[in-house]
Structure 1
Amino acid sequence: MSQSISTVAFIGLGVMGYPMAGHLARQGLNVRVYNRTVAKAQAWSQEHGGSHHPTPREASEGADLALICVGNDDDVREVTIGPEGALAGMAAGSLLVDHTTASAGLAEALDVACRERNIGFVDAPVSGGQQGAENGALTIMCGGSDADFARVKPLLTHYGKAVTLMGVAGSGQLTKMVNQICIAGLVQGLAEGLHFAEQAGLDQQRVIEVISKGAAGSWQMENRHKTMIADEYEHGFAVDWMRKDLGICLDQARQLQARLPVTALVDQFYADVQTMGGGRWDTSSLLRRLRAVGKT
Structure 2
Amino acid sequence: MAKLAFLGLGVMGFPMAGHLAAKGHDVAVYNRTAAKAASWVEKHGGRAAATPAEAARGAEFVMACVGNDDDLRSVCLGPDSAFAGMEKGSVFVDHTTVSAAVTRELAAAAAKDGIGYVDAPVSGGQAGAENGVLSVMCGGDQASYDRAEPVIAAYSRICRRLGDTGAGQLAKMVNQICIAGLVQGLSEGLHFAEKAGLDIEELVEVISQGAAGSWQMVNRHKTMKDGKFDYGFAVDWMRKDLGICLATAEENGASLPVTALVDQFYKDVQKMGGGRWDTSSLFARLRKLG
What is the TM-score when the length of structure 2 is the normalising length?
0.99
> Residue 96 of structure 2 corresponds to which residue in structure 1?
100
> Residue 242 of structure 1 corresponds to which residue in structure 2?
238
Return the match for 1:24 from 14, 20, 26: 20
> Residue 260 of structure 2 corresponds to which residue in structure 1?
264
Partner AA of 1:124 in structure 2 = A
Partner AA of 2:197 in structure 1 = G
Specify the SS of the correspondent of 1:28: coil
Structural mapping, 1:153-172, within 5 Å: 153-172=149-168
> Residue 56 of structure 1 corresponds to which residue in structure 2?
52
> Residue 183 of structure 1 corresponds to which residue in structure 2?
179
- Looking at structure 2, the residues matched to 93 and 260 of structure 1 have their Cα atoms a distance apart, in angstroms, of 40
> Residue 120 of structure 2 corresponds to which residue in structure 1?
124
Question: Which runs of 5 or more structure 2 residues have no equivalent in the other structure?
Answer: none
> Residue 9 of structure 1 corresponds to which residue in structure 2?
5
- Looking at structure 1, the residues matched to 79 and 58 of structure 2 have their Cα atoms a distance apart, in angstroms, of 17
- Looking at structure 2, the residues matched to 178 and 21 of structure 1 have their Cα atoms a distance apart, in angstroms, of 26
> Residue 147 of structure 1 corresponds to which residue in structure 2?
143
Task: Report whether the alignment pairs 1:37 with 2:33.
Answer: yes
Deviation at 1:117, TM superposition (A): 0.6
> Residue 218 of structure 2 corresponds to which residue in structure 1?
222
Deviation at 1:207, TM superposition (A): 1.1
Task: Report whether the alignment pairs 1:135 with 2:126.
Answer: no
Structural mapping, 1:190-205, within 5 Å: 190-205=186-201
Specify the SS of the correspondent of 1:158: helix
- Looking at structure 2, the residues matched to 19 and 82 of structure 1 have their Cα atoms a distance apart, in angstroms, of 27
Question: Which runs of 5 or more structure 1 residues have no equivalent in the other structure?
Answer: none
Deviation at 1:83, TM superposition (A): 2.6
Specify the SS of the correspondent of 2:162: strand
Q: Percent of aligned positions with the same letter in both sequences?
A: 62
**1:194-249 CA-partner distances (Å, limit 9, x unpaired):** 00001111111111111101000001001100100111111111000100000000
**Cα RMSD between the aligned structures?**
0.7
User: Runs of at least 4 residues of structure 1 off by over 2 A?
Assistant: none
- Looking at structure 2, the residues matched to 288 and 27 of structure 1 have their Cα atoms a distance apart, in angstroms, of 40
